[in-house]
Amino acid sequence: MIELKNIEVMFGDFKALNDINVDVRDGEFFTFLGPSGCGKTTTLRTITGFIKPSKGRVISNGRDITDVDIEKRQIGIVFQSYALFPTMTVYDNIAYGLKIKKFKKYVIDKKVRDIAARVDLSDEQLKKAVSQLSGGQQQRVAIARALVTDPDIICMDEPLSNLDAKLRVQLRNELKKMQKDFGITTIYVTHDQEEALTLSDRIAVFNKGCIEQIGTPNEIYNHSKTEFVCNFIGDINLLSEEAVQKMNEAGANLDVHDHNYIRLERAHVDVEPKAGDVVFDGTVLSTEYYGLYIKYHVDLGSMQIKIIEKNDGVRIYDEGQKVKVLMNPRDVMSYHPKEGKKS
Amino acid sequence: MKNKGDRKFRLNGNTILTLAGAAVYLFFFLGFMIRPCINTLTSIFTAVPDDPLAVVKFFLSGNMKEYVWNSFKLAIALVITVNFVGISIVLLTEYFDIKGAKILRLGYMTTMIYSGVALVTGYMFLYSNDGILTKMILDTFPSFNPSWFSGYKAVLFTMTFACTSNHMLFLRNAIRGIDYNTVEAARNMGANPFKVLTTVVFPTLVPTLFSLTVMTFVTGLCAMSAPQLLGYNAINPEIVRLAGSSRADEAFPQARAALLSVILALFTMIVLAVLSAYERRGHYLSVSKTKAKLQKQKITNPFWNAVMHIYAYVLFIIYMTPVVMIILFSFQNYPAIRMKTLDLKNWTLINYFGQEDYSYLTNRNVYKTRVGAVSGLFSNEATLGGIKLSFIMSALGAFLACIVVVIACEYIFKHINKKRAVALEYSLLFPWLLPTILICYSYRSFFNQEVWYVGNQNLYYGEKVRILIVLAYMVVKLPFSLRMIKAAFYTIDEELEDAAKNLGSGKLMTFLKVKLPIILPSVLAVFALNFNALFTEYDMSATFASTYGTTYAMVIQAMCRDEGLYGYNVNASGRRCASTVFIMIVSGIILYLVYGVGSRDLSERLAAKEKRRKRLQKLRMRFVRQ
> pLDDT tens digits, residue range B319-377?
999 899 889 999 998 888 888 788 888 899 999 998 888 887 777 888 888 888 888 88
- Asked if A77 has any chain B CB less than 8 Å from its own CB, the reply is yes
Residue A133 to residue A124: CA distance in whole angstroms: 11
Q: Are residues A168 and A272 in the same domain?
A: no
Is residue B6 very low, low, confident or very high in pLDDT (cuts 50, 70, 90)? very low
pLDDT tens-place string over residues B241-285: 888 777 777 778 888 888 888 888 888 888 888 877 777 665 555
Q: Identify which has the larger pLDDT, B432 or A63.
A: A63
In contact, A167 and A135? CB cutoff 8 Å = yes
Of A77, A83, A100, Cβ closest to residue B504: A100
Residues of A in Cβ contact (< 8 Å) with B3: 9-12, 51-54
CA distances from B571 to B242, B378, B385, B568, B579 (A): 31, 13, 18, 9, 12
Say if A182 falls within a structural domain. Answer: yes
- What's the confidence (pLDDT) of residue B45? 87
In contact, B576 and B560? CB cutoff 8 Å = yes
- What's the confidence (pLDDT) of residue B1? 43
Question: pLDDT averaged over chain B?
Answer: 86
Residues of B in Cβ contact (< 8 Å) with A130: 602
The minimum CA-CA distance between B107 and chain A, rounded to whole Å, is 35
Residue A33's nearest CA partner among A156, A137, A166 is: A156
How many other C-beta atoms can be found within 10 angstroms of the C-beta atom of residue B520? Answer: 14
CB neighbour burial string for B294-329, b if at least 16 within 10 angstroms, e if fewer = beebebeeeeebeebbeebbebbebbbbbbebbeeb
* Mean pLDDT computed over A92-116: 92
Q: Which of A14, A66, A85 to mutate to test the interface with B (most CBs of B within 10 A)?
A: A85
Assess whether pLDDT exceeds 70 at residue B423.
Answer: yes
Taking CB atoms and an 8 Å limit, are B502 and A70 in contact across chains? yes
- What's the confidence (pLDDT) of residue B290? 58
- What's the confidence (pLDDT) of residue A305? 94
Q: Which of A66-70, A211-215, B263-267, B534-538 has the highest mean pLDDT?
A: A211-215
The minimum CA-CA distance between A50 and chain B, rounded to whole Å, is 8
* Beta-carbon contacts of residue B69 (< 8 Å; ≥ 6 apart): none
- Asked if A18 has any chain B CB less than 8 Å from its own CB, the reply is no
In contact, A76 and A49? CB cutoff 8 Å = no
Q: Are residues A100 and A180 in the same domain?
A: yes
Q: Are residues A227 and A281 in the same domain?
A: no
How many other C-beta atoms can be found within 10 angstroms of the C-beta atom of residue B603? Answer: 16
Order of strands across the sheet that contains A55-60: A14-24, A2-11, A55-60, A63-64
When divided into structural domains, chain A yields a total of 2
Taking CB atoms and an 8 Å limit, are A71 and B503 in contact across chains? yes
Say if B91 falls within a structural domain. Answer: yes
Say if B401 falls within a structural domain. Answer: no
Q: Are residues A244 and A224 in the same domain?
A: no
Q: Which of A36-45, B177-186, B246-255, B424-433 has the highest mean pLDDT?
A: A36-45
Taking CB atoms and an 8 Å limit, are B496 and A52 in contact across chains? no
Residues of A in Cβ contact (< 8 Å) with B514: 85, 87
Q: Which of A200, A232, A264 is the last residue of a domain?
A: A232
Say if B352 falls within a structural domain. Answer: no
Q: Are residues A258 and A278 in the same domain?
A: yes
In contact, B564 and B572? CB cutoff 8 Å = yes
Question: pLDDT averaged over chain A?
Answer: 90
When divided into structural domains, chain B yields a total of 1
Residues of A in Cβ contact (< 8 Å) with B498: 50, 77, 79, 83
Q: Are residues A10 and A85 in the same domain?
A: yes
Assess whether pLDDT exceeds 90 at residue B185.
Answer: no
**Where are any strands of DSSP class E within chain A?**
2-11, 14-24, 29-33, 55-60, 63-64, 75-78, 153-157, 185-190, 202-207, 210-215, 236-238, 259-263, 268-269, 278-289, 293-299, 304-310, 322-327, 333-335
Q: Specify the length of chain A in residues.
A: 343
Say if B128 falls within a structural domain. Answer: yes
Taking CB atoms and an 8 Å limit, are A85 and B498 in contact across chains? no
CA distances from B403 to B422, B484, B611 (A): 19, 13, 34
- What's the confidence (pLDDT) of residue B206? 87
Residue B135's domain is classified under what CATH number?
1.10.3720.10
Of B6, B495, B503, Cβ closest to residue A96: B503
The minimum CA-CA distance between A229 and chain B, rounded to whole Å, is 29
Q: Are residues A175 and A278 in the same domain?
A: no
DSSP count for chain B of H helices, then E strands? 29, 2
Residues of B in Cβ contact (< 8 Å) with A100: 503-505, 509
Please count the residue pairs, one from chain A and one from chain B, whose beta carbons lie less than 8 angstroms apart: 90
* Mean pLDDT computed over A277-305: 92
Dihedral angle sign, alpha carbons of residues A302, A303, A308, A314: positive
Q: Specify the length of chain B in residues.
A: 626
Residues of A in Cβ contact (< 8 Å) with B508: none
- What's the confidence (pLDDT) of residue B5? 43
Is residue B236 very low, low, confident or very high in pLDDT (cuts 50, 70, 90)? confident
* Beta-carbon contacts of residue B167 (< 8 Å; ≥ 6 apart): B82, B83, B85, B86, B87, B89, B90, B212
Residue B500 to residue A97: CA distance in whole angstroms: 8
Q: Are residues A211 and A306 in the same domain?
A: no
Structural domain that includes position B320: 63-243+298-329
- What's the confidence (pLDDT) of residue B144? 86
pTM, entire model: 0.78
Interface ipTM > 0.85: no
Q: Are residues A70 and A135 in the same domain?
A: yes
* Mean pLDDT computed over B292-304: 86
Say if B251 falls within a structural domain. Answer: no
Q: Are residues A242 and A225 in the same domain?
A: no
In contact, A112 and A95? CB cutoff 8 Å = yes
Q: Which of A232, A262, A287 is the last residue of a domain?
A: A232
- What's the confidence (pLDDT) of residue B195? 83
- What's the confidence (pLDDT) of residue B3? 47
Percent of chain B, pLDDT > 70?
Answer: 94
Q: Which residues in B have their CB inside 8 Å of a CB on A?
A: 1, 3-6, 493, 495-496, 498-505, 509, 513-514, 517-518, 520, 601-603, 606
**Helix (H), strand (E), coil (C) string for B297-339:** ECCCCHHHHHHHHHHHHHHHHHHHHHHHHHHHHCCECHHHHHH
Q: Are residues A257 and A287 in the same domain?
A: yes
Say if B187 falls within a structural domain. Answer: yes
- What's the confidence (pLDDT) of residue B289? 53
Residues of A in Cβ contact (< 8 Å) with B500: 85, 96
Residues of B in Cβ contact (< 8 Å) with A75: 502
Residue B550 to residue B548: CA distance in whole angstroms: 6
Identify the helix (H) or strand (E) that includes residue B356: strand B355-361
Identify the helix (H) or strand (E) that includes residue B433: helix B419-433
The CA radius of gyration of chain A, in Å to the nearest whole number, is 24
CA distances from B104 to A58, A82, B91, B97, B162 (A): 66, 44, 12, 12, 16
Structural domain that includes position A253: 237-335
User: Which residues sit opposite A288 in a β-bridge?
Assistant: A295
Residue A168 to residue A166: CA distance in whole angstroms: 5
Tell which phi-psi region holds residue A301, choosing left (phi > 0), alpha (psi between -120 and 50) or beta.
left
* Beta-carbon contacts of residue B525 (< 8 Å; ≥ 6 apart): B484, B594, B595, B598, B599
Assess whether pLDDT exceeds 90 at residue A139.
Answer: no
Q: Are residues A73 and A165 in the same domain?
A: yes
Say if A343 falls within a structural domain. Answer: no
CA distances from B87 to A217, B105, B156 (A): 63, 13, 17
Work out the burial of residue A157: count CB atoms within 10 Å of its CB; fewer than 13 is exposed, 13-18 middle, 19 or more buried: buried
pLDDT tens-place string over residues B546-575: 888 889 888 888 876 766 666 677 788 888
Residue A57's domain is classified under what CATH number?
3.40.50.300
DSSP count for chain A of H helices, then E strands? 10, 18
How many other C-beta atoms can be found within 10 angstroms of the C-beta atom of residue A249? Answer: 9
Q: Residue A295: phi, psi to the nearest 5?
A: -105, 125
The HSE-up count of residue B408 (CA atoms within 13 Å, CB side) is 28
Residue A286's nearest CA partner among A320, A310, A327 is: A320
In contact, A120 and A133? CB cutoff 8 Å = no
Residue B257 to residue A10: CA distance in whole angstroms: 57
Residue B161 to residue B127: CA distance in whole angstroms: 14
Q: Which of A232, A264, A298 is the last residue of a domain?
A: A232
Residue A308's domain is classified under what CATH number?
2.40.50.140
Say if B93 falls within a structural domain. Answer: yes
